[in-house]
Amino acid sequence: RQELIDAGMRRARSFGWNDTYTFTKWIAEQLLVRDRGHVPLVVFRPAIIEGSHEEPTRGWIDGLRMADPMIVAFGRGKLQEFPARPEVPLDMIPVDLVANAMIATLPLGDARRDTAAVYQCGSSDRHPFLVDEMIRAMEKAFRRRPMNDDNGRPIHPARMLLIDSETFVRRWTARRS
């Protein structure tokens, strides 16, 4: 298994990609452009999609994805430290804004073009949301509305500690051995 992972990473990096996830997305886009025939094509690349801004209702989510499991783990008192720098922007965007932007790009697909129109859909360029702001928002939210433990008592998570990645890996490796 590790040999396959290493081979995939070497291949991805040989094309300038950091990981196999972004590499395979790029391959898929290339195949779509090559094989689309006369079908209009738009490539739409959203940032991390999270809960809604307004529609169908503020904060609506369908399941726990991306950042949600970490937020819940923090609220349950299970996540007390995280490897990140406070000044780094998180490029998350509400699901309803992504849906609206996708609809807005549809008529712009042009089957006569040799390439696809490509749209990035994110928020950090105009409205950066920093790691530190996310941490403060989580702490405030769970102070106002704490989650309950298995006995129905409110959970009051400790303040989130941001650590460097080397410390995180060292501690994680030590816990697993």
Cis amide prior to 56 (ω within 30 degrees) = yes
The reply to whether 21 belongs to the active site is: yes
Helix (H) or strand (E) holding 29: helix 20-35
| CA 44 – CA 100 distance, rounded (Å) | 12
CB 98 within 8 A of CB 46: yes
Position 141, amino acid: A
The reply to whether 119 belongs to the active site is: no
Q: In 3D, which of 34, 42, 36, 170 has the Cα closest to residue 102?
A: 42
Active-site annotation holder among 21, 78, 119, 140: 21
Residues forming the active site: 21, 25
